[in-house]
Amino acid sequence: MVTKKKIIIVGGGFAGIKLVSKLDENLFDVLLIDKINHHQFQPLFYQVAASQLEPSSISFPLRNIFKNKTNVQIRLAEVLNVDIENNKIKTTIGDFEYDYLVIAIGCKTNFFGNNDISKYSFTLKTTYDAILIRNHILQTFENIISANDNEKESLLNLVIVGAGPTGVELAGAFAEIKKNVLPKDYHGIDFSKLKIILIEGTKNTLNSMSSNAKIASRKYLQEMDVSVLTETFVQNYDGDILTLKNGNSIKTKTVIWTAGVTGNIIQGIPDNCFAGANRIKVNRINKVVGSKNIFALGDIAFMETPKYPKGHPQLANVAINQAKNLAKNFKRVIQGRETVDYEYKDLGSMATIGRNKAVVDFPFINFNGYFAWVIWMFLHLMLILSVKNKLIIFINWAWAYITKDTSLRLILTQNEQDSTK
């Protein structure tokens, strides 16, 4: 009988859960460690932030996902450091030994060293972040009703920094609820004065996509009355005034920062293993350079290949396919067979800007409009883990399409009286 190897996987994102699902149950015992007890479907965070979906629709408890895998253990903890010499990790709930360690801890928002921006702006990297934004936005409109004229300007300016897919999709979602939803809820507010401002440092929105996507996304946003400021950089934000490097400033109580990411740090990995933006350097089978039994997957991994000398794009598809390849390679190693190098096959990218508005880049064709929007919805539904959640999201989308409305605008916060209990 083959003695099972113990694999510890840190992180329950796309890479982590795919690796767990693909590992041979007869060959490996798996310990999955994460700080939260659920997998988060990050591509739809913006819809939670804009009150278009409930958080539960895009959150999947890890124990439920792997309830039928008896070789999988799950622990809710934070990894404090890695003891490479002794094949052990230290966590907030104790130490664990491994035969193989897989780091799939993803990335966090990059504020480029500006502590004030970090302190006063919102991010959109977790389900909890999305709920915070939803609460803040809805509370802002409640505050506008009773605010004096001097206070209203900052409350009516909603700023998003970063015009990648997250920023563009978020701006489009807010523009739609500004037009179709909020005027029905808040009869006393003149929403023509509500400004949605999208700031981007490069020349284009969706700058990493095709020329068609760049042009179409900007056109759609401007048609939806979003102010798009490209080649514009933020200098500082103090919670009231957003200062730009060109000398201009914007009074605002709402800044959502989506302008870049940097890898989450795990202590114990040697400094020479890190590339730019704190990504961990790996070889073609995702093994950390210089290590014997430590691997990194997904956004945190930096793999140089002939096609991608600057590393692969930080996309869910990359993470998922790296995990599939690593699962096969683990089995090959046990069986004494040669491993297979990974290379990313670009299947395309896409973004939605709003109702009937999306852009799609496939390797063979680029297009935008209604058909692109339908494809975006279909592919995202297919990535959702459970049939139940697929159905719930589809019903929500269908209802919103027919009525141009949702009924999910709940402010879920703890008031001061409750917090003293």
Write out pLDDT tens, residues 237-261: 999 999 999 999 999 999 999 998 9
Tokens 């989506």 — which residue? 258
Query: Hey, what are 12's tokens?
Result: 């329950």
User: Any idea what the CATH number is for the domain that residue 312 is in?
Assistant: 3.50.50.60
- Assess whether 181 and 220 both reside in one domain: yes
pLDDT tens, residue by residue, 254-289: 999 999 899 998 999 999 999 989 999 999 999 999
Query: Partners of 170 in the beta sheet?
Result: none
Identify whether residues 145 and 105 lie together within a single domain: no
Q: If DSSP codes are grouped into helix, strand and coil, which group holds residue 318?
A: helix
pLDDT, one tens digit per residue, over 38-88 is 999 999 999 999 988 888 899 999 999 999 999 999 999 999 999 999 999
In a domain, 164, yes or no: yes
Containing structural domain, residue 236: 115-259
Whether residue 208 is contained in a domain is answered as: yes
Q: Which residue has the higher pLDDT, 390 or 299?
A: 299
Helix then strand then coil, % of the chain, to nearest 5 = 35, 25, 40
Q: What is the β-pairing status of strands 254-257 and 261-263? A: unpaired
Averaged pLDDT for residues 326-342: 95
In this prediction, residues 168-191 reach a mean pLDDT of 90
Asked whether residue 368 is assigned to any structural domain, the reply reads no
* Same domain flag for 318 and 298: yes
Q: Write down the H helix ranges in 79-195.
A: 115-120, 127-146, 149-155, 165-180, 182-185
Domain identity same for 146 and 87: no
Examine the domain organization and report whether 299 and 233 are in the same domain: no
* Residues 29 and 119 both lie in one domain: no
Q: How many helical (H) and strand (E) elements, i.e. helices and strands, does the chain have?
A: 13, 24
Q: What is the CATH number of the domain that holds 227?
A: 3.50.50.100
H/E stretch holding 301: strand 301-303
pLDDT tens for each residue of 208-242: 999 999 999 999 999 999 999 999 999 999 999 99
Check whether residue 142 and residue 267 sit in a common domain: no
Residue 395: pLDDT band (50, 70, 90) is confident
Q: Which of 259, 290, 306 is the last residue of a domain?
A: 259
Average pLDDT score, the chain: 92
The answer to whether 110 and 71 are in contact (CB under 8 A) is: no
**Residue 53, domain member (yes or no):** no
Residues 273 and 328 in one domain: yes
Residues 140 and 100 in one domain: no
Residue 330 has pLDDT above 70, yes or no: yes
For residue 1, is pLDDT > 60?
no
Residues in CB range of 256: below 8 A, 6 or more apart = 49, 121, 122, 123, 124, 133, 158, 159, 160, 161, 167, 170
Q: Which of 317, 334, 351 is the last residue of a domain?
A: 334
- Residue 239: inside a domain: yes
Q: Is the pLDDT of residue 352 over 70?
A: yes
Question: Does residue 416 register a pLDDT over 90?
Answer: no
pLDDT of 418 strictly over 50 = no
Stated pTM of the model? 0.92
For residue 309, tell me if it sits in a domain. Answer: yes
- Taking the C-alpha atoms of residue 363 and residue 124, their distance in angstroms, rounded to an integer, is 29
Residues in the chain: 421
Q: Do 267 and 254 have their domain in common?
A: no
Same domain, 255 and 129: yes
* Same domain as 134, residue 105: no
Residue 346 has pLDDT above 60, yes or no: yes
Return the pLDDT at 408: 63
Q: HEC profile for 222-288?
A: HHCCEEEECCCCEEEECCCEEEECCCCEEECCEEEECCCEEECCCECCCHHHECHHHCEEECCCCEE
Domain-ending residue, one of 192, 226, 259:
259
* Confidence check: pLDDT of 420 > 60: no
Count of domains forming the chain = 2
Most confident of 100-104, 177-181, 388-392: 100-104
